[in-house]
A and B are shown apart, each in its own frame.
Chain A
């Protein structure tokens, strides 16, 4: 169990365009979703936390109007990078938390490598 599907795995986009990253929990429900960003040779940095049906909570320094998070269902969340710039190039990882499982419920997508040219 606990299968997570994150798409796309890699995307190259032009500066100024928007990119949508999809994260699905295929065999479980996730009330809470965490989105992380990882720059080369760095650790995972939390960008935002979202609960199904509610607005996401963003970490300090993360622009909510630039990184749009939609968590409309218990099995799907999306992160849209709007008006992407080269500095947004990074590895984005979703982390759906299985509902009602406490510390046993952390799962991760396989990541999306975004390159903005």
Chain B
């Protein structure tokens, strides 16, 4: 069975600090995809990244970076020099490729508050 764990329920940082959001996943498939979404107060989900299980390269996009480690089943997300606009709930999600049209399985989310 697939499962996504985001152990950090809430994190609060001061602006310009770096922050890492943890995500640990469980799956029996060898082919799977991992995602991160941002959910601001408006509620709309904003896609941040998708990574397949065969691509363990870390990725950087501006102030965002992701560290994918299959050995520890983790896909952590770091925001560098955080800003107030980064305040939101962040969800990690998993899709097993072998299962056809299956829904994403979401973690419980991490609420990030960036204080000016």
Contacts and interface: CB of A to CB of B under 8 A. Distances in A.
Interface residues of A, number: 24
Interface of B: 33, 35, 42-45, 50, 52, 91, 95, 97, 101, 103-104, 106-109, 111
Contact of B50 (A31, A34, A103, A113): A103
A29 to B, nearest CB: 13
Contacts of B42: 110
B109 A110 contact: no
Contacts, number: 44
A43 interface: yes
B43 A49 contact: no
A42 B107 CA distance: 10
Interface of A: 31-32, 34, 36, 38, 41-44, 46, 49, 51, 91, 93, 95, 97, 102-104, 106, 108, 110-111, 113
B96 to A, nearest CB: 9
B43 A111 contact: yes
Nearest to B9: A41
